[in-house]
C-alpha cells in the first residue's frame, strides 16, 4: 500500500489504534494477528531493537516478512537501532509501509527521510522522553508521523510518563495538526490518554 493511500484511508479515522507486536506470542503469530484484526487494530507496530541503540534485542525483517503474509493491515517498523540508514530497505521490503527512525540515532535525518519518501515510504520521526520538541522541528516537512515516546525505549512494561501529553500538545501547537501524533509505551486503560 502506498504512502498516499495509507494516509488517505487513516486520515479521517482517529484515533488510529496501532498495537505493538512486542509482547505477542511468536509461536502463534497467525492467531495473534487474527485477534488484533478482530479487535479493530488499524496498523501493526513492530518495535525493532538492536541491542546497541537500546539494550534489548527483538526481531528483524525476516520475521516481519512472514507476518506480512498473514494480514493486509499496514505495518510500521519502529527502528530503535543505531544505523537505520543501513537497514530501512530490509524492513520496507518485508512489507512495512511506515518506517519510524529516532532523532537520537540520526541527529541530521533529512537525507534519510528524503530517501525513504522517494521510495514511497511513510516516514516517522521518534523522540525520546528527554529530547526536546525543537529537535524535530526542522524536519516537519519530511515526516508523516511524530512518535513521542512515553517511556524510555528498549523495554516493555514501564510506567507511562505523564509529561508526554504536554509534549504532544506543544508539538501540535508548534507544528500544526497535519501530522499523526503518536505515543509509544505503556498506553493502556489506566494511562491518562485523552484526545489531543
pTM for the model: 0.87
Question: Can you read off the three cell numbers belonging to residue 130?
Answer: 528527554
pLDDT tens, residue by residue, 19-65: 889 889 999 999 999 999 999 998 999 999 999 999 999 999 999 99
d(CA 16, CA 184): 13
pLDDT tens, residue by residue, 98-153: 999 999 999 999 999 999 999 999 999 999 999 998 999 999 889 988 889 988 88
- What does each C-alpha distance from 138 to 80, 108, 173 come to in angstroms? 21, 10, 15
SS3 content of the chain, % helix, strand, coil (to 5): 35, 20, 45
Spans of all domains in the chain: 3-184
d(CA 127, CA 146): 8
Answer CATH for 3-184 from 3.30.1490.20, 3.20.20.70, 3.40.50.150, 3.40.50.261: 3.20.20.70
Angle at the Cα of 154 from the Cα atoms of 52 and 92, rounded to 5 degrees? 75
Q: How confident is the model at residue 93 (pLDDT cuts 50, 70, 90)?
A: very high
Amino acid at each position: 500500500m502506498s504512502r498516499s493511500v495509507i494516509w488517505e484511508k487513516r486520515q479521517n479515522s482517529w484515533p488510529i489504534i496501532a498495537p505493538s507486536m512486542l509482547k505477542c506470542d511468536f509461536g502463534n503469530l497467525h492467531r495473534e494477528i487474527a485477534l488484533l484484526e478482530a479487535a479493530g487494530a488499524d496498523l501493526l507496530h513492530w518495535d525493532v531493537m538492536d541491542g546497541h541503540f537500546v539494550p534489548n534485542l527483538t526481531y528483524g525483517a525476516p520475521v516481519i516478512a512472514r507476518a506480512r503474509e498473514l494480514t493486509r493491515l499496514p505495518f510500521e517498523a519502529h527502528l530503535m537501532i543505531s544505523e537505520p540508514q543501513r537497514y530501512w530497505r530490509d524492513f520496507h521490503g518485508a512489507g512495512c509501509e511506515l518506517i519510524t527512525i529516532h532523532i537520537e540515532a540520526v541527529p541530521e535525518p533529512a537525507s534519510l527521510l528524503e530517501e525513504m519518501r522517494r521510495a514511497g515510504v511513510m516516514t516517522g520521526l521518534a523522540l525520546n522522553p528527554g529530547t526536546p520538541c525543537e529537535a524535530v522541528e526542522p524536519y516537519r516537512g519530511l515526516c508523516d508521523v511524530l512518535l513521542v515516546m512515553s517511556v524510555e525505549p528498549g523495554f516493555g512494561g514501564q510506567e507511562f510518563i505523564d509529561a508526554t501529553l504536554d509534549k504532544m500538545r506543544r508539538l501540535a501547537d508548534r507544528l500544526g495538526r497535519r501530522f499523526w501524533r503518536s505515543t509509544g509505551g505503556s498506553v493502556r486503560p489506566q494511562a491518562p490518554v485523552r484526545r489531543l
